[in-house]
Structure 1
Amino acid sequence: MLLFIIISCGINEPDSIKGCTDYLACNYSVDANFDDGSCAFEYDCIGNCGGSSYRDQCGFCDADPGNDCQDSCEAIWAALKPENENFLVSIGDYYEHELTQEIYYGHDIDAIQHIINNNPHSLHIGMDTNNDNKVSVLEYGIQEWLNTRLISLDLDYDENVIMPTTCNSRINILPEYIGKLSDLHELSFNGNELMFLPDSICELENLQELLIENN
């Protein structure tokens, strides 16, 4: 008699772990073995993967359409002007920042402020690097400083990036005071609407590069 012994063995299958299995997605999960359709490939304006925050016409970022900016261009520019005079305290020929204790040469700070004063419409939310909804003199453009002196100032205008796109924030006046930037090496105003260059631009003896395309 043949004796057949049938032994049933239970096979342990791996647990199903749901998540995003596409390694190109920003929320890719290395542990997931079952794609649940949650893959996202873009970050929102505050850096959340697949988030719903967006920039309104003023450039402010959140996910609440109920507080979208409805202000006129003039109101937007006025709101970006700092109320505390940039936290800079005058000390002889220099300014000291009240919060960081960094020292800046006075004429350099004043020259930037003169550009702002002559072009109050040039403030835009993209300059607000510390996210306080204000644009201080030290946030105006891309600046490079060395040993208290401003050596590079980039105020290029990109109409596809600067918010709101319905407002014209291009610079159109360069004040004579710009000639005080005696240590400046690079100066760029591409994409603006400069009507003329001041005579004092010739006083910038250390200037190595001046970019003024598409003005």
Structure 2
Amino acid sequence: METNAETPQNQRPRGRPREFDTDAALERAIDVFSVRGYHGTSISDLSDAMRLTPGSIYKAFKDKRGILLAAFDRYRVLRNTKLMAAITPIPLGRDKIKAALQFYAEAAHGELGQRGCLVVATAAELAASDPVAAERVDVAHASNEAIMKNCILLGQSDGSVSTSVDAADAARALLCLLQGMRIVGKTGRSRPEMMAVTDVAMKLLG
């Protein structure tokens, strides 16, 4: 007996597939949130930047908070990939730390510096009131602190960092410095000024 039941192979997918590049749209949203902040950004701002209709935005991300959290995750992937590319090829722990500091210094001057850091912006605006956003920020900070600590420990094992340095405390200090550089960078500091911070920071390592 024949049946009209459809097999999984010929069933039509429910709903229309998204007709936009999600990563590209989120990267445009990153720029808006970084410059304007969460509360200063409207759905209209995001619609214009992401090149999507408000309806498409709501369907894909539900609301402005959903866009921020997705943009935050995308931002972390992009920044971590670039940071690791900058430090991984370098053999000595001390030189890895300097490369990481220079990586942040490059992002903390000129137009890029004034655009700001989405981790810093999210921490300042939402970490105290939004537990999910706060967790995202905590994970981001913990990741960067761990990278610094591992580089310090490597430096101590290869002789490029003094063994008198407490790796955990120094890593936390470097994390605070890195985040502080991004905040100061919003004020339009020059490249030489931010690179000079790197030189001073290296003295923490003995």
Structure whose residues are more often strand by fraction: 1
Query: Which structure is larger by alpha-carbon Rg, 1 or 2?
Result: 1
Fold-level similarity (TM above 0.5): no
Structure whose residues are more often helix by fraction: 2
Higher relative contact order (CA 8 A, sep 6+): 2
